[in-house]
């Protein structure tokens, strides 16, 4: 946490990106400019930043525009020295994100982003966590659909399990009941880059198979972690399941949250995620279709001869769902948790916009404001997760401002 007098509570870096534009619109509408929240937008192109500013209307006439390139270390340090916190939307982070992490850590500036690139997060923790602890910089990755609904959903369930049962749930399963919304080019580019790195590095493939890959080295479990690889029938919900593409990052974030909270969920805590595909023969067929589609996409993205074909067919960076599609989108995810003594709790988390962009922008904005304005010096520097850094304060913001609901459905 920077100790110098900052001009701004937060700066949106990458404000001209697809999600950056949605985020700036959200902040302008909900917090104004130069009110209780002092903020600015930043990026490498002054003309494009001014174009974004122009879309925000006359109320944003005084919104500061700052210039810095993602690869210019000097400019990034100067940027960080002006603010308490930077929100970054510049991805793929594995390609463009490290210089800003380095600048934030060296200046003691807080940071949050919406990355889902677990391999990059692991590298950043190894390279910069000790320095972040020294400087006081609080780094919080995964503040979008990756991984706030999962991370805060488990935190919410465990809080109520402790209150209701007097013990946490040792096993938790997350199931996506429904999610409506389109992918953007930025998300697809990140997924392709992960597949590319995995194809080139056998060690990385092994690392990404480890559910504790971003946990502190001492945090491990003797219990085998569940990991859905193919279609499977879920007896709890009476539906067929397929692997959830975001599960690879979300499960690791949840395990890191458990570790950073002193194994609050239990040292042998188990967690996995899947998507519901329906009942009967149709649900089974859909589940196997999802498995085949995911396998084909990852295999084709991993090798150069077919990667260019994938890149031509998918949305390009800067492209994404229309405002109407964002507003029409939504999601409903369910959690079933069981305690060591056999008690069960089912909860749900819902969002009122498409998960990847409309809802993500609101979650990212509230995470940034929460970390900048509500989390004081009691949280030391280091690499945190949303729930371990902001817990109930963030939950309150998500439900009050960001269109999320958290609800206990059943206990038994």
DSSP 60-93: GTT--EEE--TT-HHHHHHHHTTEEEEEE--S-H
Q: Would 75 be classed as within a structural domain?
A: yes
> Of all residues in the chain, what percent are helix, strand and coil, respectively (each to 5)?
50, 20, 30
In angstroms, the CA 93 to CA 114 distance is 9
In-domain check, residue 3: no
Task: Please tell me whether residues 100 and 126 are part of one structural domain.
Answer: yes
**Residue 183: which of 296, 81, 306, 315 has the closest Cα?**
315
Are residues 185 and 77 part of one domain?
no
d(CA 293, CA 295) in angstroms, rounded, equals 5
Which residues fall within 8 angstroms of residue 76, CB to CB, at 6 or more apart?
Answer: 68, 70, 99, 100, 102, 103
Q: How far apart are CA 212 and CA 219, in angstroms?
A: 8
pTM confidence score: 0.94
- Please tell me whether residues 27 and 172 are part of one structural domain: no
CB 297 within 8 A of CB 326: no
pLDDT at 308: 63
Q: What is the mean pLDDT of each run of 10 residues along the chain (412 residues)?
A: 76 95 96 93 97 91 95 97 97 93 98 93 97 98 95 98 98 96 66 72 76 93 91 96 91 97 97 96 95 79 67 64 85 97 98 92 98 96 98 98 98 94
Asked if residue 187 and residue 92 are part of one domain, the reply reads: no
In a domain, 278, yes or no: yes
Does residue 259 fall inside a structural domain?
Answer: yes
349 lies in the same domain as 368: no
Same domain assignment for residues 327 and 283: yes
The answer to whether position 1 is within a domain reads: no
**Phi/psi of residue 298, nearest 5 degrees:** -65, -40
44 with 138, same domain: the answer is yes
| DSSP, res 147 | B
Euclidean distance between CA atoms 137 and 356, whole angstroms: 27
CB 272 within 8 A of CB 228: yes
Same domain, 185 and 260: yes
Q: Which residue has the tokens 């919410």?
A: 156
Single out the residue of 180, 172, 354, 185 nearest to residue 264, CA to CA: 172
Cis bond upstream, residue 315 (ω within 30): no
CA 140 to chain centroid, in Å, comes to: 9
Contacts with 31 (C-beta within 8 Å, 6 or more apart), sequence order: 37, 39, 369
Q: Are 157 and 265 in contact (CB under 8 A)?
A: no
Domain total of the chain: 2
> What pLDDT is stored for residue 246 in this prediction?
87
The answer as to whether 99 is a domain residue is yes
The alpha carbon dihedral of 91, 93, 97, 101 has a sign of positive
In this structure, the answer to whether residues 91 and 176 fall within a common structural domain is no
21 and 133 within one domain: yes
Q: How far apart are CA 15 and CA 18, in angstroms?
A: 8
In a domain, 19, yes or no: yes
**Domain enclosing residue 264, as ranges:** 148-355+403-411
Residue 329 lies in a domain: yes
Same domain for 90 and 41, yes or no, is: yes
What is the CATH number for 387? 3.40.50.720
Measured distance between the N- and C-terminal CA atoms of the chain, rounded to whole angstroms: 43
Whether 165 and 250 map to the same domain: the answer is yes
């Amino acid at each position: 946490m920077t100790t110098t007098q900052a001009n701004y509570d937060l700066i949106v870096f990458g404000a001209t990106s697809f999600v950056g534009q949605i985020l700036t619109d959200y902040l302008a509408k909900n917090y104004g400019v130069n009110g209780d929240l002092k903020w600015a937008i930043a990026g490498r192109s002054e003309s494009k930043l001014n174009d974004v500013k122009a879309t925000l209307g006359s109320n944003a006439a005084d919104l500061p525009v700052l210039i810095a390139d993602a690869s210019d270390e000097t400019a990034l340090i100067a940027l960080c020295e002006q603010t308490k916190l930077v929100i970054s939307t510049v991805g793929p982070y594995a390609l463009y994100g490290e210089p800003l992490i380095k600048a934030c850590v060296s200046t003691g500036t807080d940071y949050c982003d919406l990355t889902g690139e677990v391999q990059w997060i692991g590298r950043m923790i190894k390279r910069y966590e000790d320095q972040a602890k020294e400087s006081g910089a609080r780094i919080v990755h995964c503040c979008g659909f990756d991984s706030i609904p999962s991370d805060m959903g488990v935190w919410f369930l465990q809080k109520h399990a402790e209150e209701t049962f007097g013990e946490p749930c040792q096993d938790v399963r997350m199931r996506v009941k429904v999610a409506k919304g389109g992918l953007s080019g930025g998300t697809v580019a990140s997924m392709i880059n992960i597949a590319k790195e995995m194809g080139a590095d056998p060690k990385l493939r092994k690392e990404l198979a480890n559910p504790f890959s971003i946990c502190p080295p001492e945090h491990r479990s003797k219990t085998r972690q569940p990991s859905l690889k193919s279609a499977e029938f879920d007896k709890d919900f009476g539906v067929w399941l397929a692997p959830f593409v975001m599960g690879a990052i979300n499960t690791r974030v949840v395990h890191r949250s458990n570790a950073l909270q002193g194994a609050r969920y239990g040292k042998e805590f188990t967690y996995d995620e899947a998507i519901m595909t329906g009942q009967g023969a149709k649900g089974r067929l859909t589940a196997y279709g999802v498995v085949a589609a995911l396998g084909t996409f990852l295999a084709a993205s991993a090798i150069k001869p077919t990667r260019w074909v994938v890149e031509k067919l998918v949305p390009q960076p800067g492209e994404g769902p229309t405002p109407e599609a964002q507003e029409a989108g939504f999601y409903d995810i369910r959690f079933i948790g069981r305690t060591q003594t056999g008690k069960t709790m089912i909860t749900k988390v819902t969002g009122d916009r498409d998960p990847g962009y409309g809802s993500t922008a609101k979650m990212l904005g509230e995470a940034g404001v929460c970390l900048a304005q509500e989390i004081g010096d009691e949280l030391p520097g280091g690499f945190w997760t949303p729930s371990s850094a902001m817990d109930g304060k963030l939950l309150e913001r998500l439900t009050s401002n960001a269109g999320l609901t958290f609800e206990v459905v059943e206990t038994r």
